Amino acid sequence: MSVERLVLALSGLASVTVGLLDLVGLLDVPALAQKLPQLTLLVGGLVLTVLAINVPMWSSRLRDELVELRNDMKNNNVDLRGEIGRLATHVSSSHIDTFPSLIEQVDPALLRVFRPYLEASFRTPTQVLNERRFQLNDMESYRNYHRRAHEENSGSTFFATSLPYRKWFWLGDYVERTIKNFVAAGGSITRIFFIRDDEEVTDSAEVQGVLGAQVKLGVEVLLVNVMQVPPYLRKFFLVESAQKFGWEAIRGPDDRVTSLNVTANPADTARYYSMFQQLRQMAVPYNPGSILSQQIGAGGHVSVNTSQDPVAFREFEFSGWQGAVEKYHMAWGRLTQKAASSLLDAIGVTESTKLLDVASGPGYAAAIAADRKADVLGMDFSPQMVQKAQSLFPHVTFQEGDAEGLPFEKETFDAISMNFGMLHLGNPEKAISEAFRVLKRGGRFGFTVWAPPEEAVGFSVILKAVSEYGQHVTVPHGPDFFYYSRPDECRVALTAAGFGAPKVILLDLTWQLDDLDDLFSAFLHGTARTGGLLRAQDAPTRNKIEKRVRETGRQFQNGDGSVSIPMPAILAVGTKN
């Protein structure tokens, strides 16, 4: 019994007792007799006693009724929440023009009941900023950025990637109306859908409905087999972009959407577009009504970072390097050796480090490591290169081997280097994965590539001349030569392979040549890819290219006739944790 009930009962019993004693004359209370009628204490005490007995019962009944009311409200709320979910996700081609706004359907008095559910599904720009998805300091910076974007990109193209399944696909009706208004304002949208290699899911009516609805809106719909997309692109679009990127509609004076922006951060926007263009090269147009699993095909497409014919490309590189050994050593040796020292520093090669130098070429990096008293093995796929390396550095061990299939057990080496070898592989990602496999925990893998041609000017000189005079010739397709010239791609590739703490460093290098004539000759006879392109030209065309290279190269000529050309390189390093 509670203290309150006990006090109530005792007060009631006391009043009854006093009243009875007063009534029978055993107790005379004059003061009470003057104020209260006889029997008042008796009746009051009886009332208090009855209350003490019955209040718990009444309280229990009231509590049960309140619980029942709460449960009814909760059940109604769940039903309402479910209805909201169904309305928010039920978008098809037949509803696009007629499906009204959720807010417009709701009685304002009820908004407070399910506003949290709406906000969980439809984030406002303020909420997105609070989630730190955008890298701007304040809301005003955010607005200013988008004002500039609207002025510069009115009616611009917007790119998007999606999985066409209800679980992943953003299906608020306002998204559909935004897309429709944007297209009506002159903008164009290309949307790439990741399609699973699963006929039961891919060919379902649900997926066809989503894609058909996009086509009706005027969207260019492309498809790509998600299992054929390289890991770094899958990770970017299915994980990283979901956490980091968003998009916002910019409305013009007539309330039409005239611009769509991927994110509020200019650098990230550029990266998104770059990655999207890589993915777009792999995608195929959607053909409404046809079987999706047949459209994407079993083989799918390949990334620009992977050769479309790796066997032919390997043979092309192999043949090229077999004949380029001497000229490469004379024309490129001094330059690439400068990068080798920085590469070994970055991966921590010191005395007793067990190092594998992959794509060792003439052996420059391996020799420098040996001078540091490291336990080093150099490896190259070209027998002529291995022979040259062994003749130059007889105290170092070299052997033939494939970077994309290293002939070693896992966790064999303390460090792995690849000095400009990444540029000549049909599947660089496979080589990075192989390096991860044979590297010990805590070890580092590092590679170097040339900076973009606008910075590594020697490549700009030769490529512009080829672009101006070169004929269209057929050479085996290889990965983009300057793919890893972008630091972000180096980080993504290393991370995708499992490496932690990726670092990218710009090496400031200068290419010293004895004579201007050596510039064209270095590319023609001292490289595989560029040399193969030049050798495939007919003689008159090749002469025109050489003349243009000489004309452009004069600006880098010194007073003594030698040439000094800026040729910076990218150094990327990852650690196996």
Q: How do residues 55-67 score in pLDDT, each as one tens digit?
A: 556 566 666 666 6
**CB 431, CB 381: distance < 8 Å:** no
pLDDT of residue 70: 65
Q: Which stretches within 470-538 are classed as H helix?
A: 487-497, 517-526, 529-535
Q: Residue 2 pLDDT > 50, yes or no?
A: yes
Q: Which stretches within 122-221 are classed as H helix?
A: 125-130, 139-152, 173-184, 199-202, 205-217
Give dist(CA 399, CA 386) in Å, integer: 6
Domain 310-452+479-512+567-575 fold: Rossmann fold (3.40.50)
Q: Would you call 463 exposed, middle or buried from its count of C-beta atoms within 10 A (0-12, 13-18, 19+)?
A: middle
> 3-class SS at 549?
helix
Higher pLDDT, 381 or 289: 381
pLDDT of residue 95: 40
Give dist(CA 459, CA 475) in Å, integer: 18
If pLDDT is split at 50, 70 and 90, which confidence band does 134 have? very low
Instruction: Choose the most confident range, by mean pLDDT, from 146-160, 204-218, 387-401.
Output: 387-401
Structure tokens at 526: 């001292």
Give the percent of the chain with pLDDT over 70: 57
Give the percent of the chain with pLDDT over 90: 34
**What residue spans define the domains of the chain?**
3-73, 105-296, 310-452+479-512+567-575
Sign of the CA dihedral with 127 first, then 132, 135, and 138 last:
positive
pLDDT of residue 76: 58
pLDDT of residue 286: 79
Q: Residue 522 pLDDT > 70, yes or no?
A: yes
Tell me the average pLDDT of the chain: 74
**CB 520, CB 462: distance < 8 Å:** yes
If pLDDT is split at 50, 70 and 90, which confidence band does 141 have? low
Span of 9-23, 441-455, 468-482 with lowest mean pLDDT: 9-23
If pLDDT is split at 50, 70 and 90, which confidence band does 25 have? low
N-terminal to C-terminal alpha carbon distance within the chain: 64
**CB 268, CB 287: distance < 8 Å:** no
pLDDT of residue 282: 78
Using only C-alpha atoms, what is the Rg of the chain? Answer: 38
Query: ∠ CA(17), CA(18), CA(20), 5° rounding?
Result: 65
Instruction: Choose the most confident range, by mean pLDDT, from 72-76, 113-117, 524-528.
Output: 524-528
If pLDDT is split at 50, 70 and 90, which confidence band does 81 have? low
pLDDT of residue 338: 94
Note the pLDDT tens digit of each residue in 256-278. 565 565 554 556 666 777 778 77
Higher pLDDT, 453 or 372: 372
Q: Which residues pair with 400 in a beta bridge?
A: 380
**CB 230, CB 303: distance < 8 Å:** yes
Structure tokens at 32: 């009470």
